[in-house]
Amino acid sequence: MNLKQGPSDYDLSLLRKQDEAKVKLAKMRSKLAGRSQFDTQREDKRRAATRAGRFSWSWKIGLALALAAMNGGYFMLRGETVAAILEKRGPGLVEPAPDLDKNRQALYWTYALYDFDRLKSTFGVPNMAIVDAAMARSRLQELMPEIDARTRFIVEGYLPRPRRSS
């Protein structure tokens, strides 16, 4: 036995080169001979673990539909909740003064529906006022027969145009 070993006997892995050659030879022999019993047992365990952890397609589709339904429900109900909270916290739309003439009242409801910035600047409505569109439309419809031509021209400029059927 050679006690004095030179630098050529060792590699960077600190294993003796001879041992490394024996390991390579054993690997090549096992490839030629086929799989070892240890390899087949390990492969069987891996297959069993992946089979147990796998979902079938029906489960995957069911989970995807459940997630989509939950997201849709959240976004649909979220809008109603926010609107209800704002309605409780926000100041309601102030009614126009009863001493205003019909023309000014019609402009008030028109601006409340279609031009909130002008409503704020003309009538001094607060920024966070909430407009009930159905009530504003009904009040505007009540006032339309009673307003003069100049105010009617202004109001009709804001009203949506009727669609032409082709």
pLDDT at 15 > cutoff 80: no
Instruction: Report DSSP letters for 35-55, one per residue.
Output: --HHHHHHHHHHHHHHHHHPP
Other C-beta atoms within 10 Å of 115: how many? 15
Confidence (pLDDT) at 73: 82
Q: Is 125 helix (H, G, I), strand (E, B) or coil?
A: coil
Residue 159, token pair as written in the block = 């009203």
φ, ψ for residue 13, nearest 5 deg: -80, 0
What is the rounded CA–CA span in Å between residue 99 and residue 96? 8
Query: Looking at this protein, which amino acid is placed at residue 145?
Result: P
Other C-beta atoms within 10 Å of 23: how many? 11
How many percent of the chain have pLDDT more than 90? Answer: 20
pTM above 0.85, yes or no: no
What is the rounded CA–CA span in Å between residue 59 and residue 71? 18
Closest CA to 13 of 3, 23, 4: 23
Residue 87, token pair as written in the block = 């309605």
pLDDT digits (tens, 9 = 90+) for 91-125: 666 788 878 899 999 999 999 889 888 988 988 88
> Domain limits of the chain?
15-46, 57-89, 102-158
Residue 104, token pair as written in the block = 């000014």
